Each structure stands twice: as C-alpha cells, then as structure tokens.
Amino acid sequence: MHKPLCLALLLAASAAHALAADDATSKQTADFRQWQKRADAEQAAADSALTDLQQRAAAGDAAAQFELGALYYQGQDVAQDYAQAAAWWVKAAVQGHAVAQYNLAFLYYNGQGVAQDYGQAREWWEKAAAQNLPQAQYDLGVLYVEGQGSAQDYAQARAWWEKAATQGDAGAQYNLGVLYDNGDGVARDIAQAHEWFKKAAAQGHIVAQRNLGLFYYNGQGVAQDYGQARAWWEKAAAQGDAGAQYNLGLLYGNGQGVVQDYGQARAWYDKAAAQGDAKAQYNLGVLYGNGQGVPKNNAKARAWWEKAAAQTDDKEAQQAAQQALQKISQ
C-alpha cells in the first residue's frame, strides 16, 4: 500500500521537475530573444552611424574622413584596409587635419597601404609639426638623425625636438639630453644633458631615469651623490629596466650610498640577469663563487658564467666570464 504512494510522490516530483525545466527553457528562450533584439538594435545603430559617417566623409567633412580612415586602419565596423585608410586620411590631410597628416606620414614611413616613402613621410610630418603636433615634431627629429628622407642633420633634429620638448614630450626631452651628452649637432654640454634627462625622467622615461642616475653616480654635471643615483635607478628598476637593476646590485655590492649588502646585490642581479644582462650574470657567478650573500656554490657560479660567456653584445662581461670559467676548470 505504501509503494504506490511512493510512486505517486516520485511521479509528482518528476512532474514538478518537468514543469520547472519547461519554465527554465521558456525563460532562456525569452532571455535569448531579448538579447538578440538588443544585438540587432545595436547593429542597426552601428550600421546607421557608419552610413552617416560615410556620407559626411563623402561630402568633404575632414573630421569624418579622419574617423573613417581610422576605422579602416583598425578594421572596426569595416574590413581592415590600409589603402582605404590612406585614401581617407589623404582627403582629411589636404584640408589641414593635423592628426590625419601625422597618420598619413606614419603609413608612408611604414609602407602600409602605400609604397614606403620617407620623403613623403617627412613632408606630411612637417605639415602636422607646423600645427604644433608634438608627435610629428618628435618623429621629424628621428628622420633627420637617421637620415631618412633627407640628409642626416643633427641641427634640424635638435630644432624639432626642442619644439616637442617644450610641449612636454618626454621622448624629445630624452633625445635632447643624448644630443648634449654626445655633442651631436651641439657643443657638448653635460649640464644641459642633465637638465633634459631630468625633465624626461620626471615623466617616467625609463632610460632618462637610468642616465640621470649615472650622472649622479659619476658626478657628471652635478655633485656626486650615490643616494640620488640609487633613487633614480630604483624608479627605472621598478619599471623593469635591467641596466638600472644591475646598477643597484653594484651599489649594494660595493656599499656605495647604502650599507653593503650582498643579499640585496644578489636580488638585484637576479632581476637583471633574468632579462639577459651579461654583467649581472657574471657578477652572480662571482657571488656564488665567493659565497657572498649566498652559500658558496661553484656549480651555480659556473652556470651563471656560462650564460654570460654566451653573450655576444657585451664583450667585457663575456671575456670576464670566459676567464672565470678557465680558472674554475683548472
């Protein structure tokens, strides 16, 4: 007598589950339809916006021509087409649209959608630069230093970088520092180099921060100050600069501006070595070979020296590592 009741209960439960499943399916169907409706509406709006943009561009609206070129370049709402991007940016550029002029120069420089032509790149960047676009002023400086599209001319590079630098372009500020540090196109002036590196470094330019640290470390254009060197190298190292990480390892290993700490030296060398810095790899080998900051371990010393010896872009570290390997093998 009890079994039928159990069966009835099971059947009732099954029926309830079936109803719940039917309800869930209905809800999912309704949700999908709502989503599809929204998606269709969004697509229709996008199509309408694209049509409107195309009509405005065809009517000669420079801003619309620029935006349409950007869509073709990025492949957004249209198939990616660099040639079409170039065609629309030309239309906007001849009307004086500065960013279109800049982008068109970029296409000529890289040969995207047009034949590569440094001369054309220079001409369009000059037009954009004349409208005080700092990116164009910066790139013109690069062209003149590299001698692309014109004869190499450091004075012209400096003139354009000064325009960009006064507008706060960190790359131009850094490059001016390099010109003054090397005496390229200007009389060598370490104090000027220091000032430009400092401006770029304050904006987070990694290599400027590393170079500024070197100036303080060596007392170039400023009083020697290991504390300032460490502060600037820490900023660059925090951004992943291997050179700054290596330099911090040196400070801690030599106790310059800090309490000598081989453990800290090893930690910084580890970071730089992991990025392939040959000097850091060599110095790690020295630490393991001498048991400084780590237990003495000739196998690890050999491993790091082998890595440094395999490097070809740092002859000094490579030769030192090769000599260390010869000694440890004797």
Domain 246-330 in CATH: superfamily? Answer: Tetratricopeptide repeat domain (1.25.40.10)
CB 172 within 8 A of CB 161: yes
Tokens of residue 107, six digits: 């296409």
DSSP assignments along 96-148, one per residue: T-HHHHHHHHHHHHHTSSS---HHHHHHHHHHHHTTT-HHHHHHHHHHHHHTS
Q: What is the dihedral of CA 224, 226, 227, 232, to 10 degrees?
A: 90
Check residue 328 and give its pLDDT: 85
Check residue 32 and give its pLDDT: 63
Check residue 16 and give its pLDDT: 39
Residues composing the chain: 330
pLDDT along the chain (330 residues), means of 10: 33 39 60 68 69 93 93 92 96 96 95 96 96 96 93 95 97 96 94 96 97 96 95 98 97 96 97 96 95 94 95 92 88
Q: What's the rounded Cα separation, in Å, for the pair 191 and 222?
A: 8
Check residue 25 and give its pLDDT: 60
**Ranges of each domain in the chain:** 246-330
Check residue 47 and give its pLDDT: 66
